[in-house]
Amino acid sequence: MAELHGRVFGFPDRETVATPASAPNRELRASVGLALVVALLATAVAQAQPATESLVEVGPAVSVTELERLAGELRSEDASVREHAFERLGHLPASALPAITERVRYLARLVIPPEDGEEALQRFRHATGSRRADDMIDVAPGILAVLAEDRSPDVGRSAERVLLIRSLEQIGTLDAWRTMADVYALSPEMWRWELRRALARLGPRLMPALVLARSHRDAVLRRWARDGADTLRLANPADALQVEDLGQLAQLVTAYSEVRDLDAMPVIVGFVDHPDPPLRDAARMAMERYGQNGIWQLRIAFRHKLAAEADLQWGWRRTMTELWSRLDDVRLAPQSARIDAAKQAMDEGRARDALGELELVLRETPTPPRADELASMLARLATELDDAEAIRLLRRALWLAPEHGEVATWRGRLALLEAEADRARGVLDLDAYEGAARLSLSEGERERVAAVLDEGDVETLTEVAEPEGPGFPWSALGLLALLVFAFLIVLPRVVAWCTAQLRRFRARRAAGSHDDVVAVVDVGSEDVREPDLDAPSPEPARFVVETSSAPRSIQPDTQAPDAQAPKNRDPWRRVVRA
């Protein structure tokens, strides 16, 4: 029926009744066109706008007040509030560590009787389905079920401490391990089984906490640290320091040095020239903590790593300083060679080649050798390159050598270049020019600053500088994208609308030129006779329309006897006079 209506000339809204076969093609064209336009416009806008430094959004730090509020919400009557507090306290970020430490100090005044605390932990375990005290499971999932029935102060405080321990385990820094031991020390008797579960749950990852707990003020924690290392079979530092995770290895090195474990010293000294900067720094700091006790280990490292003998007249600090310096020279030899190559390129006038070598040095090591010399070379290159590149190089020079003798000159040039860059964009910052005038500038630079400060025409000063060269026509690209969008989406719709309006106009004109239009239909027939309205004809036009109305008698058309229905058609038909 809809297909038939789509073929009836002049039928209203026929395109909405019978969807054309090209509809999927139109949708495909629209999707492709829209995607193309968005891509072109995004590219044009991104290239036309100046690059800006990305800003990292830092969320607000968790405060002690918020932790106190969350602890109170654990005992709320509303289940959704309790669930929110449970999730929040059990997944605190690393930025919340200072607030957690302060909260633990406050919790020391809220004493939980050992038997009540142990009973609360037992109820948490029962809520998880466990009925054995030695089940090595996590009791935290059972907290919400217990709080739904009992929200007494002891249950709420026990739940808060369990959740704080879980957050500290996830943070996993040395400070977090120390704070976790302090939480256990609040009521050590109630944590008897939970300390064992922590060993089973975390395994070797708990070793930094065990090492630090050796010197804890609480005897229960010290015994737990000793027994835990034996349980994990990592009591020997030589075994404990065989860790693939470099972050955890650096933590272990620091932890052993804090407790002054002399058995770990022969292993730690082997990391003083490690390629990983955090581990190398941790090992060197550890050897410095050992002090005089490590002098023989430093002399042995001198012999093994440098194939040289340390002077026996040197003290431990002199020996350590010489060892670090010579090890750094060996490690940074490739970077020193690049600096020499860059210096030679600058002397030969190849500024771009020199800059490429220095860029490689800065990418290869965060603490490059000969930092003062490298900073001076960057500042010298800044005078030979364009302003945008000069600003970047001067910033790096100030970062590399903040104590250099020419820092004042670099800062003055940097302030002037930044002020001129703002002025080129149409922003006149007179304060920046005045600040640059107070810094160390050359005679030519001072004249440029004075010319701006003495100029009275603000419109002239804030005139935006035209970019050099024709550049890429991003505006033309955006206009082309709009034209493509119009061709693929808008233009077909306009053509279809105009065609429909033209057909309706022709139908009304043809209908007005005749006195009578008769439509004869046979039920169930799809044969349509559509006359040519433009062709002259003395007889009225006839249309066939399918219908399902009740049977009626047929009135003969006396004006057109030859247009009566054939004899082999069904006698049910309808006459419509327009």
Arithmetic mean of pLDDT, 210-223? 94
Average pLDDT (456-461) is 48
Predicted local distance difference test score (pLDDT) of residue 48: 46
Q: Is 112 left (phi over 0), alpha (psi -120 to 50) or beta?
A: beta
Q: pLDDT at residue 8 above 90?
A: no
- Reported confidence tier of residue 383, pLDDT bands at 50, 70, 90: confident
Residue 483: per-residue pLDDT: 74
Q: Average pLDDT of the chain?
A: 79
Above 90 in pLDDT, residue 562?
Answer: no
Contacts 24+ apart (CB under 8 A), 272-281: 272/301, 272/323, 272/324, 272/327, 273/305, 273/327, 273/330, 273/331, 275/331, 276/246, 276/250, 277/366, 277/367, 278/246, 278/247, 278/250, 279/246, 279/249, 279/250, 279/253
List of residues 6+ apart from 320 with CB closer than 8 A: 284, 287, 288, 294, 298
Q: How far apart, in whole angstroms, are the C-alpha atoms of residue 300 and residue 321? A: 14
Greater model confidence, 451 or 249: 249
Q: How does residue 37 score in pLDDT terms, banded at 50, 70 and 90?
A: low
Smallest Cα–Cα separation from 298: which of 308, 255, 250? 308
Give me the percent of the chain exceeding a pLDDT of 70: 73
Element (H, E) at 410: helix 407-424
Mean pLDDT of 390-419: 87
Angstrom distance (rounded) from CA 426 to CA 434: 18
3-state SS of 103-131 is HHHHHCCCCCCHHHHHHHHHHHHHHCCCC
What is the rounded average pLDDT of the residues 313-331?
93
Of the two residues 162 and 495, the one the predictor is more confident about is: 162
What six digits make up the tokens of 106?
A: 């406050």
Contact between 316 and 290 (Cβ < 8 Å): no
Q: Is a pLDDT exceeding 50 seen at residue 439?
A: yes
pLDDT at residue 471 greater than cutoff 70: no
Give residue 126's pLDDT: 94
| Predicted local distance difference test score (pLDDT) of residue 55 | 34
Q: Are 421 and 388 in contact (CB under 8 A)?
A: yes
- Predicted TM-score (pTM) of this structure: 0.61
CA distance 244 to 248: 8
* Residue 451 pLDDT: 79
95-111: average pLDDT = 93
Look at residues 471, 385, 387, 469 and name the one whose alpha carbon lies nearest to residue 425: 387
Model confidence band, residue 412 (pLDDT cutoffs 50, 70, 90)? confident
Instruction: Give the per-residue pLDDT at 60.
Output: 58
Give me the pLDDT at residue 492, please.
Answer: 77
- Compute the C-alpha angle 318/322/328, nearest 5°: 145
